[in-house]
Amino acid sequence: MTRERIYLFDTTLRDGAQTAGVDFTLADKMAVATMLDRLGVDYVEGGYPGANPTDTAFFSENRTTRATFVAFGMTKRAGRSVENDAGLQGVLQAKAAACCFVGKSWDFHVVHALGITLEENIEQIRETVAAAIAAGREAMIDCEHFFDGYKANPDYALACAKAAYDAGARWVVLCDTNGGTTPDEVTAIVAKAKAVVPGANLGIHAHDDMGLAVANSLAAVDAGARQIQGTLNGLGERCGNANLATLIPSLKLKPDYAERFEIGVSDEGLATLTQLSRAFDELLNRPSNRHAPYVGANAFATKAGIHASAILKDPRTYEHVAPESVGNHRRLLVSDQGGKSNLVSELARIGVEVDKTDPRLDRLLAEVKRREAEGYAYEGADASFALLANRALGRVPDFFTIESFRVMVERRHNALGELVTMSEAVVKLTVDGETLITAAEGNGPINALDVALRKDLGRYQPYIADLRLTDYKVRILNGGTEAVTRVLIESTDGGGVVWTTVGVSPNIIDASFEALVDSLTYKLLKAGAPAP
Amino acid sequence: MTRERIYLFDTTLRDGAQTAGVDFTLADKMAVATMLDRLGVDYVEGGYPGANPTDTAFFSENRTTRATFVAFGMTKRAGRSVENDAGLQGVLQAKAAACCFVGKSWDFHVVHALGITLEENIEQIRETVAAAIAAGREAMIDCEHFFDGYKANPDYALACAKAAYDAGARWVVLCDTNGGTTPDEVTAIVAKAKAVVPGANLGIHAHDDMGLAVANSLAAVDAGARQIQGTLNGLGERCGNANLATLIPSLKLKPDYAERFEIGVSDEGLATLTQLSRAFDELLNRPSNRHAPYVGANAFATKAGIHASAILKDPRTYEHVAPESVGNHRRLLVSDQGGKSNLVSELARIGVEVDKTDPRLDRLLAEVKRREAEGYAYEGADASFALLANRALGRVPDFFTIESFRVMVERRHNALGELVTMSEAVVKLTVDGETLITAAEGNGPINALDVALRKDLGRYQPYIADLRLTDYKVRILNGGTEAVTRVLIESTDGGGVVWTTVGVSPNIIDASFEALVDSLTYKLLKAGAPAP
């Protein structure tokens, strides 16, 4: 069976750069172009040469190997020749094999924003396409506001699309610039455009202002569009553009699409998608969306016990695709909601082997439930969960015993009359029958406690030398300062392993101390420290 | 023109509670039910009475006023009578006017997961609906895996839906449990279900595993469904459920839907949506999605200069709906001038009158920007923002001066050998030239400081007598215990007014104290306390 080709056009580096708070450097742009090229998209739009020094530098050479590198720009301005339009010339001289020009297709914008006649706008589209072809470039026109324009004046919107096509544009891209169009409208309007742009020459550019960018892209494909424009992780102005990290797996894995269409991303490329999506967020220095379709950390996470036991029997019962196909993996969460199946499979995952019929499992499950009712949350605190489980199985030695601790925070004027705050902690503990007292200062009470606690652990000190705190999170579980506090602490060591521990108490210092002690104990257990 | 009614069914407290990392307390559940009830949803599903102590306690009384309160449960188990099925009885005895039962409709699950015959499963659906009706409850059946079930065995899936309807279920809800169904499939399959469940009795329950939950919900409505199940901010297992905060504005504002359908949310309710969405994230102590459709901080933010100037001429050029309709507002990220207009409009909103040409405004704007770069967030701390603005305008007297404070937290064994933690604070301040020293104990360091600070404020004591802390939130702005801590404190007084203050410091105690002092000062200002 012959499948039709769908072309993927990535605009992360152009429309995605309109995102509030996103500001790509030249090095960022090169890194992202390489990621996209390896993934297998067909077009990488790199920016707007001439608009700013970064984009101009980026287009000083071709930046892709497999994909077609695309320069973005505006159609020719009114009242100038192609030769005398500096903006247009900047785009045509960029080292890119293709050029994508935004052209207006909503009569209201032509008259009010550009201040030219409707026919003049069409003439500009024609001349711009012709100039790009003459310069040896693959030419594309982005019809800005195509759907809103069609609703206001269908004949004019279609005339703009037809003019681009007739002038020789390889692609005529229909843009839902404001993101306010529904899938039904997309279906109907793309079908109309297909009548004037026959063949595989229509593209779709959707925005997510109604949470419909992915659905609108698929609706356009069903109606005849063969190019999809989108961005990595749905980056883009306002609510973002169509998310390619969602569309690619759907096009490849859903029979409804995979049987009819093919794309340039291979199965091997698809299997790198989760890693690529997270690497892109790392580059943007932002946390990844844990709930993102296909690639989110929770995309294949199950909490309900009854679902978990079904998944263990046959994953297809509660998974619409195999997590491995997109490089993701299944997670069964231990929680109040979960049952014994979740517990056993989670224990296996963290390396705690135990027979399913072991009576200590029931006690452990009851203990987990009791603690979760108190405010503990083990789904995000693997290390505390491992300790709890190993303790229930009698596998955690009492490496040390905390006798007492004391923290003091004082704010006062120093000798120079400056207001300073001092935090000091004292910890008293017993190791091997020996009492050790340590004291430390810190920039806050938790920091002081952490430093004091790790200062002298007697014979165990070498095992914790490389321990280091990397994150600290606090959640108050009920309103008011008298509520219960839950603290999550993330730690790491020289080996790059990261673990998380939890503490709960009405007193934030107590809760933090509990999580600190769990982290130490976990590290000792992990490092194979001998029992006293 | 008569419009058909679409019923909104919120399952934030049931299916939303399956989200990894989400753990509703009883107080959380009550707060969320109240939010939903005020918003105008038709059904609030509160959880699964009998499944855990929180849900059982939540269903000990009716928790809604306008909306119908719904208990969730499983259909009757095989081999037991209705009377002897403890799970079913727990649901029927809950103080809820409606019951929603999950029933299987995929033959594979019936045979392999339940291990009963196909006819037995249908009989269980029938008996469960009959039992709910006999108990005086509005009965609903969630047909689990309906779309996957239909694809495997259409006749059987339809027979399950028909059995529920024939037995008297008010709603037969078609669930895309695994989230793997496309809008085209939803359209086709809902139409088939409509043939066996005529009238306005079909519901849709969509998941976002392909980023299509909103599109699938709308497709189902177009095909005849009249109830939409979803959650606030799209909370839910894996990638989440259909997002009601996206669907509600689309149903009310998009002519394609608004002309055909009506929902229970009023225009006034819609205008609270942004605030409600963010308050819900605050309750979950997670950052709001800035790119969320309609309610995100960036949903109406424009960066491109050319777009911004068009928006200033006519917002419809680049906005698909008016931001005010959902209680959001436009942000132009281009000029300092835009920043100043925002500042003046924010000041007006909190009742601070100031001329737009006042030079002190520029200093205030610079101060706000400097502080926000340090980690302060005034969007959620109106009272601290009002203090900052009034200070810049010379309108805040120095009611009192803090000289010093000291907090101590100590954990040790008491005389009975029990491990106890004691928190004590001492505050020294000056009022009217008089030095006052107060000390107090608390169940944590912040509580102790709060009590000590409010113990004796000299001549100002009467003004703060009814002040009370109602919430305390902590966010660490960078990783590690050495990072900056942001504390938000919510306070109230006898009048029921609530205000929020913010404090930022590397030291959590300092940050908390700053927010406590701001709250006191704001209360004195608000109460019209005289300057010293």
User: So where are chain A's domains?
Assistant: 7-261, 401-526
Distance of residue A510 Cα from the nearest chain B Cα, in angstroms: 8
pLDDT at B303 over 80: no
Comparing A217-226, A277-286, A457-466, B16-25, the range with the smallest average pLDDT is A277-286
Measured distance CA(A131)–CA(A156) in Å, rounded = 23
B242 reaches A (C-beta below 8 A): no
Measured distance CA(A291)–CA(B213) in Å, rounded = 13
Residue B437: how many other CB atoms lie within 10 Å? 13
pLDDT at B480 over 50: no
pLDDT of residue A375: 80
pLDDT at A132 over 70: yes
Beta strands in A28-77 (DSSP E): 43-47, 68-74
pLDDT at A397 over 80: yes
Note whether A491 and A467 are within 8 A (CB).
Answer: yes
- B508/A471 CB distance under 8 A: no
Residue B492, token pair as written in the block? 């109230």
Q: Which residues pair with B439 in a beta bridge?
A: B426
Per-residue confidence band for A174, with pLDDT thresholds at 50, 70 and 90: very high
Beta strands in B223-373 (DSSP E): 227-230, 261-262, 301-302, 331-332
- A444/B508 CB distance under 8 A: yes
DSSP annotation string for B263-301:
-S--HHHHTTHHHHHHHHHHHTT----TT-TTTSTTTTE
Indicate the helix (H) or strand (E) that contains A438: strand A434-442
Q: Which residues of A touch B215 (CB under 8 A)?
A: 183, 211-212, 214-215
| Chain centroid to CA A519 | 28
Per-residue confidence band for B479, with pLDDT thresholds at 50, 70 and 90: very low
Residues 6+ apart with CB under 8 A from A231: A10, A11, A12, A15, A16, A240, A241, A242, A243, A244
pLDDT at B419 over 90: no
pLDDT in tens, B186-222: 999 999 999 999 999 999 999 999 999 999 999 999 9
pLDDT in tens, B245-256: 999 999 999 999
- A254/B180 CB distance under 8 A: yes
Comparing A400-414, B298-312, B446-460, B485-499, the range with the smallest average pLDDT is B298-312
Residue A1: how many other CB atoms lie within 10 Å? 4
Indicate the helix (H) or strand (E) that contains B44: strand B43-47
Hey, what's the torsion of the CAs at A156, A158, A159, A160, to 10 degrees? 90
Residue B411, token pair as written in the block? 């954990």
Note whether A325 and A271 are within 8 A (CB).
Answer: yes
Measured distance CA(B139)–CA(B173) in Å, rounded = 11
The superfamily (CATH) of domain B4-265 is: Aldolase class I (3.20.20.70)
The superfamily (CATH) of domain A401-526 is: Alpha-isopropylmalate synthase LeuA, regulatory domain (3.30.160.270)
Distance of residue B115 Cα from the nearest chain A Cα, in angstroms: 12
pLDDT at B181 over 60: yes
DSSP annotation string for A462-512:
GGGTT-EEEEEEEEESSSSTTS-EEEEEEEE-TT--EEEEEEEESSHHHHH
Q: Which residues of B touch A47 (CB under 8 A)?
A: none
- B406/A409 CB distance under 8 A: yes
Measured distance CA(A75)–CA(A129) in Å, rounded = 8
B219 reaches A (C-beta below 8 A): yes
* Nearest by Cα to B146 from B203, B100, B98: B203
Q: Which residues pair with A235 in a beta bridge?
A: none
A492 reaches B (C-beta below 8 A): no
- B238/A291 CB distance under 8 A: yes
Note whether A297 and A329 are within 8 A (CB).
Answer: no
pLDDT in tens, A71-121: 999 999 988 899 999 999 999 999 999 999 999 999 999 998 888 999 999
Distance of residue B403 Cα from the nearest chain A Cα, in angstroms: 7
Q: Average model confidence (pLDDT) for chain B?
A: 91
pLDDT of residue A306: 65
Distance of residue B513 Cα from the nearest chain A Cα, in angstroms: 10
Q: What is the DSSP letter of A76?
A: P
Beta strands in B176-257 (DSSP E): 202-205, 227-230
- Looking at residues A300-317, what average pLDDT do you find? 76
pLDDT of residue A305: 61
pLDDT of residue B21: 77
Distance of residue B318 Cα from the nearest chain A Cα, in angstroms: 5
pLDDT of residue B333: 54
Q: Which of A184, A303, A509 sits opposite B18 (nearest CB)?
A: A303
B192 reaches A (C-beta below 8 A): no
Is the four-CA dihedral B194, B199, B205, B209 of positive or negative sign? Answer: positive
SS3 B227: strand
**B416: buried, middle or exposed (CB in 10 Å: 19+, 13-18, 0-12)?**
exposed
Per-residue confidence band for B334, with pLDDT thresholds at 50, 70 and 90: very low
Whether ipTM tops 0.90, in short, is: no
Q: Which residues of A touch B453 (CB under 8 A)?
A: none
Comparing A264-273, B187-196, B358-367, the range with the smallest average pLDDT is B358-367
pLDDT of residue A479: 44
B255 reaches A (C-beta below 8 A): no
B414 reaches A (C-beta below 8 A): no
Distance of residue B404 Cα from the nearest chain A Cα, in angstroms: 4
Per-residue confidence band for A21, with pLDDT thresholds at 50, 70 and 90: low
Q: Which residues of A touch B185 (CB under 8 A)?
A: 256
Q: Which residues pair with A39 in a beta bridge?
A: none
Note whether B57 and B26 are within 8 A (CB).
Answer: yes
pLDDT in tens, B139-156: 999 999 999 999 999 999
- A318/B177 CB distance under 8 A: yes
* Nearest by Cα to B109 from B156, B163, B169, B167: B156
- A294/B17 CB distance under 8 A: no
pLDDT of residue A133: 98
The larger pLDDT score, comparing residue A284 to residue B231, is at B231
Note whether A42 and A9 are within 8 A (CB).
Answer: yes
Measured distance CA(A211)–CA(B244) in Å, rounded = 11
- B408/A408 CB distance under 8 A: yes
B residues 365-384 closer than 8 Å to A (CB): none
DSSP annotation string for A218-260:
HHHHHTT--EEEEBGGG--STT-B-BHHHHHHHHHH-HHHHTT
Q: Average model confidence (pLDDT) for chain A?
A: 91
SS3 B114: helix
Per-residue confidence band for A335, with pLDDT thresholds at 50, 70 and 90: low
- Looking at residues B12-38, what average pLDDT do you find? 92
Most confident of the following: A27-31, A182-186, A306-310, B371-375: A182-186
**Cα–Cα separations (whole angstroms), residue A321 to A39, A324, A341, B181, B229:** 20, 9, 22, 11, 23
> Most A CBs within 10 Å: which of B11, B144, B176, B209, as the mutation test of the A interface?
B209
B281 reaches A (C-beta below 8 A): no
> Most A CBs within 10 Å: which of B146, B291, B501, as the mutation test of the A interface?
B291
- Looking at residues A49-59, what average pLDDT do you find? 90
pLDDT at A452 over 90: yes
Measured distance CA(B449)–CA(B446) in Å, rounded = 5
Per-residue confidence band for A338, with pLDDT thresholds at 50, 70 and 90: low
Give the CA count within 13 Å in the CB-facing half-sphere of A252.
24
* Nearest by Cα to B82 from B139, B159, B135, B137: B135
A184 reaches B (C-beta below 8 A): yes
> Most B CBs within 10 Å: which of A481, A487, A488, as the mutation test of the B interface?
A481
Which residue in A has a C-alpha nearest to residue B402's C-alpha? A412
pLDDT of residue A207: 98
Q: Which of A179, A208, A506 sits opposite B444 (nearest CB)?
A: A506
B47 reaches A (C-beta below 8 A): no
Distance of residue A121 Cα from the nearest chain B Cα, in angstroms: 18
Distance of residue B328 Cα from the nearest chain A Cα, in angstroms: 12
Q: What is the Cα gyration radius of chain A?
A: 30
The larger pLDDT score, comparing residue A506 to residue B306, is at A506
pLDDT of residue B335: 36
Q: Which of A113, A379, A404 sits opposite B20 (nearest CB)?
A: A379
pLDDT of residue B339: 61
pLDDT in tens, A419-434: 899 999 999 999 989 9
- Looking at residues A316-342, what average pLDDT do you find? 80
Comparing A9-13, A301-305, A345-349, the range with the smallest average pLDDT is A301-305
SS3 A418: coil
- B410/A406 CB distance under 8 A: yes
pTM given for the model:
0.74
A417 reaches B (C-beta below 8 A): no
- A476/B18 CB distance under 8 A: no
Distance of residue A61 Cα from the nearest chain B Cα, in angstroms: 26
* Nearest by Cα to A342 from A379, A381, A371, A316: A379
Q: Which residues of B touch A215 (CB under 8 A)?
A: 183, 211-212, 214-215
Give the CA count within 13 Å in the CB-facing half-sphere of A71.
31
pLDDT in tens, B73-132: 999 998 889 999 999 999 999 999 999 999 999 999 998 888 899 999 999 999 999 999
Residues 6+ apart with CB under 8 A from B16: B22, B231, B232, B235, B236, B241
pLDDT of residue A480: 46
Measured distance CA(B191)–CA(B196) in Å, rounded = 9
- A509/B445 CB distance under 8 A: yes
pLDDT at B337 over 50: no
The superfamily (CATH) of domain A7-261 is: Aldolase class I (3.20.20.70)
Measured distance CA(B492)–CA(A496) in Å, rounded = 46
Comparing A231-240, A413-422, B149-158, B291-300, the range with the smallest average pLDDT is A413-422
Residues 6+ apart with CB under 8 A from A484: A374, A375, A476, A477, A478, A504, A505, A506
B243 reaches A (C-beta below 8 A): yes
pLDDT of residue B304: 58
The larger pLDDT score, comparing residue A20 to residue A29, is at A29
Q: What is the DSSP letter of B65?
A: S
- B508/A445 CB distance under 8 A: yes
Asked if the domains at B4-265 and B401-526 fall in one CATH topology, the answer is no
B residues 79-138 closer than 8 Å to A (CB): 108-109, 112-113
A346 reaches B (C-beta below 8 A): no
Hey, what's the torsion of the CAs at A502, A505, A506, A510, to 10 degrees? -90
pLDDT at A481 over 60: no
- A293/B211 CB distance under 8 A: yes
Distance of residue A320 Cα from the nearest chain B Cα, in angstroms: 5
Total length of chain A: 532
Per-residue confidence band for B305, with pLDDT thresholds at 50, 70 and 90: low
* Nearest by Cα to A231 from A253, A247, A219: A247
